[in-house]
């Protein structure tokens, strides 16, 4: 049988990092088994679902490059189908109308609470052989309940957690349609998984309690029961449940903070799954190696420094011209509109190893695009001094005299100056960097000088000399 997985987000907010991992695992498992994967939007909670959230989730998935073979399907567009199955179940006796009033239900809850028990339905309207049901009260719109088996147990072999068993007596007769006829959450999931031919359900372990209820409904419908893989939650670096407090939680916020999708995907696969001690995985390797049975049971803790490390790896690995294209929006955010892409690629190449995010890279090369440099106070205080002034003046003259502005000539001019002034290279390098970059850090001096260009270098040296006074 062909493996079919699905990702089924509820559009009540952005795509968070936990959801993205579930989506990734669903896609990988399908690809690994040469199967298919479906995107389903679980938007039946009309009050909490918004079109903006749907768009944000799809945007997040697209940015990560997670593609689905089918969908998006929207549950709100399938109400007729759910109603049809509810009617069939009422007909078959696997579901029934319940006319209990709010007061009666409240009483059941209060009684359970007083006895320190789980609140449960008392079965008043549940049909049983030989049982006479009460007369149908007037003016009450009934709910529809699933006639859950009372005896025995429901077990499933979770691919992550192993066998999980629930006693049916604990499960209660779930409401599957509200008084206005709209289907409830667990019911829609079941009908969709059945109709969409889902063979493997990958989802957060906060859904474990729903699973036996869903399995019992599937069995009542004579539908095949999929395999389940409940993935543990993600914790923050402090061991608490991951939340906004820990920084970015929406996937697109990682994009905004300058992470590459490859790094986020590579990070996410390792967050709860491993293959020996390998840390770097290409997409093809992920597809080849991933298996749900190797996913960890225990919750995984988020580790920002590891994500940064991966991001740097993927930034360095990328072709500078491609990285330059990806860098444009980050430069735009700083008010820079690069036009010469070959130049930008050179700038990227020279600086990429010195930063961990695209935001950092954009900020780092800003000095190549501004007309007025911003100076780092500390660098100025240390390096633009009375002692460095004559060095900068001499250097300016020597550089001005160069006809060729290439690495060998630039290096030669600086070396010659160390000899004539009897100084060390650092005594040239630090003041020079501060003068042309605005801070005492930059790639190799010759590379930096070439990127800044002769004219601007001389002008910036002039400004720095004047700054010293």
Residue 403 backbone phi and psi in degrees, to 5: -90, -30
Give catalytic status of residue 244 as yes or no: yes
Query: Of 233 and 321, which has the nearer Cβ to ligand GLU?
Result: 233
Residue 254 CB, nearest distance to ligand GLU (Å)?
A: 19
Distance (Å, rounded) from C-alpha 98 to C-alpha 117?
22
Name which of 213 and 349 has its Cβ closer to ligand GLU: 213
User: To the nearest whole angstrom, how small is the minimum distance from the Cβ of residue 185 to ligand GLU?
Assistant: 8
Residue whose pair of structure tokens reads 């509200």 in the numeric block? 178
E strand or H helix at 175, and its extent? strand 175-177
**Nearer residue to ligand GLU within complex by CB, 49 or 148:** 49
Q: Which is nearer to ligand GLU, 9 or 431 (CB)?
A: 9
Nearest in space to 451 (alpha carbons), one of 418, 405, 420: 405
Long-range contacts of 211-214 (CB under 8 A, 24+ apart): 211/156, 211/158, 211/164, 212/154, 212/156, 212/166, 212/168, 212/171, 213/146, 213/148, 213/171, 213/174, 213/186, 214/186, 214/189, 214/190
Task: Determine the longest span between alpha carbons in the chain, in angstroms.
Answer: 111
Q: By beta-carbon distance, which residue lies closest to ligand GLU?
A: 203
Catalytic residue among 141, 244, 297, 415: 244
Q: Which is nearer to ligand GLU, 214 or 357 (CB)?
A: 214
Nearer to ligand GLU, 204 or 412 (CB): 204
Q: Shortest CA distance to 8 belongs to which of 176, 183, 196?
A: 196
Residue 203 Cβ vs ligand GLU, minimum distance, rounded to whole Å: 3
Query: From the CB of 164, what's the least distance to ligand GLU, in Å?
Result: 15
**Chain positions contacting ligand GLU, by CB under 6 A:** 8-10, 42, 189, 203-204, 207
What whole-number distance in Å separates Cα of residue 20 and Cα of residue 202? 12
DSSP 182: P
CB of 10 to ligand GLU, least distance (A): 4
Which residues on adjacent β-strands are paired with residue 203?
Answer: 230
SS3 136: coil
Tell me how far, at minimum, the Cβ of 38 lies from ligand GLU, in Å. Answer: 11
Beta-carbon contacts of residue 187 (< 8 Å; ≥ 6 apart): 82, 86, 146, 174, 176, 177, 217
- Measured from the Cβ of residue 81, the count of other Cβ atoms closer than 10 Å reads 15
- Is 306 part of any known ligand binding site? no
Single out the residue of 274, 245, 280 nearest to residue 260, CA to CA: 280
Residues annotated within the binding site are 244
Which residues carry out catalysis? 244
Annotated binding site for ATP: 244
């Amino acid at each position: 049988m062909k493996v079919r997985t699905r990702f089924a987000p509820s559009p009540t907010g952005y795509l968070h990092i936990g959801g993205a991992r579930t989506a990734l695992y669903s896609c990988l498992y399908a690809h690994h088994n040469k199967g298919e994967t479906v995107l389903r939007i679980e938007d039946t909670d009309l009050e909490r679902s918004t079109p903006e959230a749907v768009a944000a989730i799809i945007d997040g998935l697209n940015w990560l490059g997670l593609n689905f073979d089918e969908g998006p399907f929207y549950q709100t567009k399938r109400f007729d189908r759910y109603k049809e199955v509810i009617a069939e179940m009422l007909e078959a006796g696997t579901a029934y109308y319940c006319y209990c009033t709010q007061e009666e239900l409240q009483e059941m809850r209060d009684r359970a609470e007083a006895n320190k028990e789980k609140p449960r339905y008392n079965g008043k309207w549940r049909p049983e052989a030989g049982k006479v049901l009460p007369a149908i009260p007037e003016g009450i719109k009934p709910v529809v309940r699933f006639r859950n088996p009372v005896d025995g147990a429901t077990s499933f072999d979770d691919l992550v957690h192993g066998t999980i068993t629930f006693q049916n007596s604990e499960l209660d007769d779930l409401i599957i349609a509200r008084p206005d006829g709209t289907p409830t959450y667990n019911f829609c999931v079941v009908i969709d998984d059945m109709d969409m031919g889902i063979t493997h359900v990958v989802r957060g372990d906060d859904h474990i309690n729903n699973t036996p209820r869903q399995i019992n409904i599937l069995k009542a419908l004579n539908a095949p029961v999929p395999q389940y893989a409940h993935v543990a939650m993600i914790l923050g670096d402090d061991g608490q449940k991951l939340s906004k407090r820990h920084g970015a939680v929406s996937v697109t916020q990682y994009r905004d903070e300058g992470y590459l999708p490859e790094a986020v995907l590579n990070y996410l696969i390792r967050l709860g799954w491993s293959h020996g001690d390998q840390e770097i995985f290409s997409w093809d390797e992920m597809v080849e190696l991933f298996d749900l049975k190797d996913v960890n049971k225990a919750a995984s803790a988020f580790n920002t420094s590891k994500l940064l490390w991966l991001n740097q790896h993927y930034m360095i690995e990328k072709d500078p011209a491609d990285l330059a294209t990806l860098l444009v929006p980050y430069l735009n955010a700083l008010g820079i509109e690069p036009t010469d892409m070959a130049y930008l690629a050179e700038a990227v190449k020279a600086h990429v190893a010195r930063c961990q995010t695209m935001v950092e890279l954009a900020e780092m090369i800003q000095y190549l695009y501004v007309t007025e440099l911003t100076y780092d106070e500390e660098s100025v205080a240390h390096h633009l001094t009375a002692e460095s002034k004559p060095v900068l003046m001499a250097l300016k003259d020597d550089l001005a005299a160069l006809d060729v502005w290439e690495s060998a000539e630039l290096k030669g001019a600086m070396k010659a100056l160390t000899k004539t002034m009897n100084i060390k290279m650092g005594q040239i390098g630090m003041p020079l960097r501060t003068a042309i970059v605005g801070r005492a850090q930059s790639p190799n001096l010759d590379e930096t000088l070439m990127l800044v260009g002769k004219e601007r270098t001389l002008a910036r040296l002039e400004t720095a000399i004047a700054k010293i006074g």
